[in-house]
Structure 1
């Protein structure tokens, strides 16, 4: 497992291709004549999600991360800042059956000092002091979120606990809209690396939850591990998705929003496209000026 998180960077495997922004329900629509994958703004993503939830509809959003980088933590905090969630669930493969995230501020702030934050990360010794500090700081913010919301762990016994989901349901961990943070293998692959793991864990967002669910996987994570991910993807029912700019139009924070066609189309309309089986074939976003196409006057 660890080799996936320290494997060579494969960001250069995908060429940058031009993208166009689609605007649904608009007489003047942006079209991409080359068929490249669509890109929408953070503002539109949040607006579409909140519009879907406006009629008291619950929605679960799963964030797929690389455990040795802060990007997943940043995305979790940005989502929580603009979308209402009742629950927060985070991965812990070593949590006991009844363990829950701490609600004690003293426990959370154990690593809040500058000295503690700059210490080497035991799980990830390859991190520089600066990288370790960024990861620790972002993890503290996530721990604070877990202390505020109804929270739980997922992935117990290295994802081998097959009774975990039903226990979580029975204690209300998925009642209401839920924000979930897990390793990206559990959002974007559908083959178990280990046959002893819970078959519902790949992808977990489709099989573990009481509500309609979508996933968000940072582009940086996809770029870095695209070869590893593609080995564990089959031609099962495909996801549909859309690239989303990071908050404040950040390219560094860009992510892929993806999920079953039905819920994705209900939320985002016709902007979505089928995600290719091989993520290496997923065109990388590059913002350009849109081409305007007049709506046809014929029926």
Structure 2
């Protein structure tokens, strides 16, 4: 797996699909998920539309750089945030969503790509939005998928989904794979598949089991703040995609994003949750093909 250094001490693992002479599409994954959550078949199908597709591991995940020297005590962090002691919370977080956005842009630079279409899913949507806000000259188009604006009144998580998201997972391989079925709580009600969840969990565990990074990514995400004012000023062509079954990030998050960005297009997909079931790939890829064409 190739890696590139995007900033001093930070190396990002990545993989590409398709012809490098085609327009680049950078796929940005979400919270604690490795790049393989962008299914290889999905990437190949998108590349088949004449796109140079790039997927990568965010920092503190997969085969990219880990921040072991900066442990985050989630109990102390949560207490500080709950008490409104943001300065203490910030001191615990070794990096920000902006740093994660800079990783993606740094990857493009290392690959010799000046501008790309950027597609972000969930926390990856936050990262992609931040790329477009901070460096609009590098982003040909933005696609924000199953994400939100950072405003607390939009894109809320259901109590059941939050409980699963924040509960510690078993550390042994068998237990970790079995626990993946709990993610059905936010999957498509029609197409959610326990077998596919177990398959991804097994592949992720075998490739790079690393739960320690999740706390630092969560800290960065929690402290990212509202992007509402910046999104109102954004002039990058934007597509927002959201599943109507999503209970991890309520569809109001996608609707609000599209409302704020001038000229944004909104695609709400029935029978899609906080996932991308193969049955809706055609609709997603058609939309991405049109938006990035």
Higher relative helix content: 2
Report if TM-score (shorter chain) is over 0.5: no
- What TM-score comes out, normalization by structure 2 length? 0.30
Instruction: State the TM-score, normalized to the length of structure 1.
Output: 0.30
Which protein has greater RCO, CA pairs closer than 8 Å, 6+ apart? 1
Please identify the structure whose Cα radius of gyration is greater: 1
